[in-house]
Amino acid sequence: MRRTVLPWESVPDPMYHARPLVKQKKWVRPGGWVMVAFLLIGGLMTRWKVGLVFAVLYALALVMEKDAAVTRRGLEIYYQMQITTHYDFWPWSELYAVTHEPDPKDASQVILYFTRGDRTKRFCFAKEDLNGILKLAKQQNRDIRIFDGADTRAKAQEIRNRNKKRR
């Protein structure tokens, strides 16, 4: 994959880079390429040629790379594909909330949910980066809401239990 200069590399610190969300199992990538081969063969051997289109799209998805970072400007996401690139930028002024919770699979990570309007994006960061990110969020946008995901889940479960008892 070609490597380009990321849009946030010239932004002054602090800068927090996201980690991969899910560690893939060993069979996922080879299984994806088997699926591409299956779609190609299906597209060539049958009268439904749409399999060829899906094979190409699936192959492009397999080689795509996604980089994300939290900077002074906001949340920045950069997708690198073989045929194009896409840069998604969420400035602090447009973010409504940041919700954090510990990663149940890895104690050294924390999951952050960034909410903008009716959209939410989820990223993993190092646990030691959490306080810096939340402090940066409050500095850049005083009105941003900070939620503790574990606490919110506990309150929601409590409400569900109360509602079940009423029935």
* CA–CA dist 61, 65 (Å, integer): 9
- Name the pairing type of β-strands 145-148 and 97-102: parallel
Determine the pLDDT at residue 158.
85
Q: Do β-strands 109-116 and 97-102 pair in parallel, antiparallel, or remain unpaired?
A: antiparallel
pLDDT in the model for residue 3: 60
At residue 1, the pLDDT reads: 44
At 84 the three-state DSSP class reads coil
Give the pTM.
Answer: 0.77
- What confidence score (pLDDT) does residue 120 get? 92
How is the chain split into domains, by residue range?
Answer: 16-166
Cite the DSSP H helix spans in the chain. Answer: 28-45, 50-63, 130-140, 149-166
Average pLDDT by consecutive 10-residue portion of the chain (167 residues)?
A: 67 83 80 91 88 89 87 89 86 92 86 92 91 91 88 83 78
Q: What is the pLDDT of residue 113?
A: 92
Q: In a 3-state reduction of DSSP, which class is residue 71?
A: coil
Tell me, what's the pLDDT at 65?
85
With a CB cutoff of 8 Å and minimum separation 6, the contacts of 69 are: 6, 8, 15, 16, 17, 18, 75, 76
